Amino acid sequence: MMWISNLPPFIPFFIAAILVLVTRGQVRNIILLATPVLGGLHLWLDVQPFVPMQASDTLVKATALSYPLTVFTYQLEFMRVDKLSLLFGYLFHIASFIAIVYALHVRDTTQQVAGLLYAGSALGAVFAGDLISLFIFWECLALSSVFLIWANRTDRAIQSGMRYLIFQVASGVLLLAGALVYYNEHASLAFDYIGLNGIGSWLIFLAFGIKCAFPFLHNWLTDAYPEATASGTVFLSAFSTKLAVYALARGYPGTELLIYIGAVMACFPIFYAVVENDLRRVLAYSMINQLGFMVVGVGIGTALALNGTVAHAFAHIIYKSLLFMSMGAVMYRVANIRGSDLGGLYKSMPWTATFCIIGAASISAFPLFSGFIAKSLIMVAVLKEGHEVVWLMLLFAAAGVFHHAGIKVPYFAFFHHDSGIRVKEAPINMLIAMGVAAFLCIFIGTQPQYLYALLPWKFDYWPYDLTHVLTQLQLLFFSALAFVWLNKKGLYPPELRSVNIDVEWTYRKLLPATARASYKLLDQLNRVVVATLRQSWEGAQSAFQASRLSQYHLASSWPTGSMVLWIGVILGGYLLADIYFK
């Protein structure tokens, strides 16, 4: 069944997107649900990596089963299979299934088609074996995902979507430019280990960094994700940034610069998330925090660290989707997601509150939940490689994410002061999707051996040793104690109706204001210079007219013929001098 094995996983999603356009009702729902299920079974049963991957301390050497396709003079690989791409393929099918179940109540063709194309593009990029194929799906990812933001059909969503699209297209342009330069430098377009060894590799690195929300390049995420629809945010949280993590793990493992970039990513969002009132924006900041752990793992580059990155990406998609789904359910029922206006919702939405708590426990890395068995791999790998300062930064980041995502989100949404809001529980399809994600969070956390068996590189590690469990419990206990103490003392930042702007202030406020001020200053300077030159010229003319010289040479009263005569005399003298002195 070779024709089945080499069928790229994006094709069923693209075909389903076309079918969704021409179907309605239950037929459409069946197509939506069947696509990730059948696609996932196809990967699990028909597609297997032939040679396991290996990892050294500095880089990954992968051998894979590939199916090349020649287009013009380039050989494109739409189906390159190894354990790394296969695991992300499994993950993206699970994530798309959960998101589709969550959005079954939505009667919006735009969102359904965009969601299928978005998931299919992510799968196409994961199995792309060359940089040109990667670029094609990279841009498809940007163009399809922006409709999940615009589908909210508000002015803020339209504007945020435009800014989001600018960042995503810029990432694609950098990727294409880097691929062409890289081909000129190395005569290869293979998407394997790249490393920072030339202009092309730096351009590709920057392209990946934009989509991975590196510091100063991250505001497209915190700006756009909270403005998407409730179901659109679930899709968005699953694919773009995790694809960037996959791309970094494929192309830049062992790049030391990533260790420090990731450490900063893990720490700085905490300060913004603590003061943020919009709970979906809090989760967007916590996403950057979690991506920081994965980027550190890629930078370490050992088998343990890379496995930790992949395991963390796997767990993160599920528990982050669960948290976004719970907040989406609140927004769907209450039409408000500001922490200052919510509270007491556990009384009318008990199942949603329970699922939110499970997601919060997972992201906080409580033992027996998925975050614990994934994040611990990265923490141990960091210590083994002697990066004690980075380990302390990640420890601070772990405590911080417990504060803002583990405690703040469920507390202010469901258990803070009773806001008096009484609504219905979330629709049944939303509850089913959240239930599936919650089950996976607990199952992975209690039975990590099944996820570990799928990881790309061989390693020997078990998370439930006494030292690590006690260390994590102590961290969580004292973090919770600090939260309670700060609240009792009134020192914890209150939930205020405000808009917080971080680095985006530079291009939303500073750059426009600087441009306007510069234009005004240059306009005034131009007027002063022109006026000064005009006055000087007019003064010189007046002085010349008043002098006796105006009666002779070059006077305006002289006839043209006389001026031509004198020009001829000057040119003749110049010619004679040139002949004489040559």
- How many percent of the chain have pLDDT more than 90? 56
Same domain, 430 and 515: no
pLDDT: is 435 or 74 the higher one?
435
Same domain, 401 and 374: yes
**Could you tell me the pLDDT band of residue 556, with boundaries at 50, 70 and 90?**
low
Residues 527 and 412 in one domain: no
Q: How much is the mean pLDDT over the chain?
A: 86
Q: What is the reported pLDDT for 405?
A: 85
Give me 266's structure tokens: 């893990």
343-352, 420-429, 436-445: range with highest mean pLDDT: 436-445
pLDDT-derived band of residue 498, with 50, 70 and 90 as boundaries?
low
Q: What was the pLDDT predicted at 61?
A: 39
Give a yes or no: residue 163 inside a domain: no
User: Domain for residue 14, yes or no?
Assistant: no
Higher confidence at residue 417 or residue 429?
A: 429
Same domain flag for 295 and 332: yes
H/E/C letters for each residue in 431-493?
Answer: HHHHHHHHHHHHHHHHCHHHHHHHCCCCCCCCCCCHHHHHHHHHHHHHHHHHHHHHHHCCCCC
Q: Does residue 578 carry a pLDDT above 80?
A: no
- pLDDT value for 408: 87
Residue 564 scores a pLDDT above 80: no
Q: Categorize the per-residue pLDDT at 515 as very low, low, confident or very high, splitting at 50, 70 and 90.
A: confident
Q: Give residue 166's pLDDT.
A: 93
Q: Do 460 and 530 have their domain in common?
A: no
Does 509 share its domain with 417?
no
At 288 the pLDDT is 94
Residue 173 domain flag:
no
Domain membership of residue 119 (yes or no) is: no
Domain range for 509 is: 505-536
Confidence of residue 2 (pLDDT cuts 50, 70, 90): very low
Do 455 and 341 share a structural domain? yes
Pair 471, 514 in one domain: no
- pLDDT per residue over 139-188, tens digit each? 999 999 999 999 998 999 999 999 999 999 999 999 999 999 999 998 88
Query: pLDDT: is 408 or 579 the higher one?
Result: 408
Return the bridge partners of 55, or none.
Answer: 60
> Residue 68 — pLDDT band, cuts 50, 70, 90?
low
Which has the higher per-residue pLDDT, 50 or 245? 245
Q: 64 pLDDT exceeds 50?
A: no
- Indicate whether 485 and 510 sit together in one domain: no
The answer to whether residues 528 and 438 belong to one domain is no
Confidence check: pLDDT of 241 > 90: yes
The total number of structural domains that make up the chain: 2
Contact 318, 370 (CB under 8 A): yes
Report the relative pairing of strands 65-71 and 60-61 from DSSP bridges.
unpaired
Report if residue 246 sits inside a domain: no
Q: 541 in a domain, yes or no?
A: no
The percentage of the chain sitting over the pLDDT mark of 70, rounded to a whole number, equals: 88
Q: Which two tokens mark 122?
A: 């992510």
Residue 16 lies in a domain: no
Q: Could you read off the pLDDT of 6-61 as tens digits, one per residue?
A: 788 999 999 999 999 999 989 999 999 999 999 999 888 877 764 444 444 333 33
pLDDT, residue 58, reads 36
pLDDT band at 570 (very low <50, low <70, confident <90, very high): confident
In Å, how far are 176, 214, 260, 323, 550 from 195, measured between CA atoms? 17, 17, 16, 35, 74
What confidence tens digit (pLDDT) does each residue in 204-236 have? 999 999 999 999 888 899 989 999 999 999 999
Q: Which residues contact 94 (CB under 8 A, 6 or more apart)?
A: 36, 40, 317, 318, 440
Mean pLDDT of 90-111: 94
384 pLDDT above the threshold of 70: yes
465 located within any domain: yes
Residue 539 pLDDT level (bands cut at 50, 70, 90): confident
Same domain, 359 and 265: yes
- Please compute the mean of the pLDDT values over residues 129-144 and round it to a whole number: 94
What pLDDT, on a 0 to 100 scale, did the predictor assign at position 480?
A: 81
Lowest mean pLDDT segment, chosen from 125-129, 504-508, 547-551: 547-551
Sign of CA dihedral 503, 210, 212, 435: positive
Q: Are residues 510 and 391 in the same domain?
A: no
